[in-house]
Amino acid sequence: MNNLKVGVIGIPGKWSTEVLADRLEEMTGFRLVIDMAEVTLDLASKHLMFRGINLCELDGLIVKKISQAYSPSMLDRIELLRVAEQAGVRVFSRPESILRLVDRLSCTVTLRNHDIPMPKTCVTESLDAAVSAIEEYGEVVLKPLFSTKARGMTLLNAKQPRDELRSQLSLFQQDNPMLYLQQKCDLHGQDLGIVFLGGEYIGTYARVSQSDSWNTTILAGGEYKPFTPDDEVIALAKKAQQPFALDFTTVDVAFTDDGPIVFEVSAFGGFKGALDGCGIDAAKLYSQYIIDSFAG
């Protein structure tokens, strides 16, 4: 498959984007990193152009990252990829699948519609309903619908005065009209990234808190560690990712006193956690998976 031309959509210079492009180049001899900020769609000709290259003429596109920051504009960038897909370009993962995940609410609704256990969650535009949910749950994490790695998330506690809660909610609502409140759970200092390739389980890593931060993200000082889940947890994660039909993903799972829960399914998956946490070169495996999909 030395003549295969597969581009990587990501963030130029970022490790996960570059390592994926490197692995593909090693296997195919072709390398192209695509920044969606520089892509132009001409609907008259149905050309999707990046630096003089019509992406609709490639064999495939891998979406490693669609944007540096999560925002509604991500949806527009994903829509552009549907033109390439219509032209016969294989897109990994399919735009339709990614669209259902970059919005936290879309992901949550799909998971709950498939009876996946999650923290108690209230979604509303009503300040009164939001305050009532905080009082019921005790402590909540107020989450933007478009964010990753706990960015923009805020802790609210029922012990705070109602006027103070309403004020914080109202301020948050200026940029996030829909309020997404999730009961804060005791994660016992860690959560898991359970990795799937083509819907099949390939490994698990833990994110372990190294501080008193309420979340375990690497941005908050967490560290990747090896972890071996039991078959029940793997089965839960596999069930969670199935409705989205992703080529590569990571399912975030945590253990609580009431049993394992799922927080989300990633639209793009984590290469760094897989490598540092469980010694898996996900970029290499993903590249081989894509090449094999053309051969088959």
Position 45 in a domain: yes
What is the band of 69 on the pLDDT scale with cuts at 50, 70, 90?
confident
Position 98 in a domain: no
Instruction: For residue 146, give its domain range.
Output: 121-183
Residue 1 clears pLDDT 70, i.e. is over it: no
| pTM, full prediction | 0.93
CB atoms within 10 A of CB 67: 19
Position 160 in a domain: yes
Tell me, what CATH number does 62's domain have? 3.40.50.20
Position 293 in a domain: no
Q: Return d(Cα 247, Cα 116) in angstroms, integer.
A: 20
Residue 43 DSSP one-character state: T
Position 63 in a domain: yes
Which residue is it, tokens 């990234």? Answer: 193
pLDDT, tens digit, 9 for 90 and up, residues 240-258:
999 999 999 999 999 999 9
Shared-domain flag, residues 140 and 219: no
Residue 205 clears pLDDT 90, i.e. is over it: yes
Shared-domain flag, residues 192 and 236: yes
Shared-domain flag, residues 195 and 147: no
Cis peptide before 167 (omega within 30 of 0): no
Q: How many domains does the chain divide into?
A: 3
pLDDT, tens digit, 9 for 90 and up, residues 32-54:
999 999 999 999 999 999 999 99
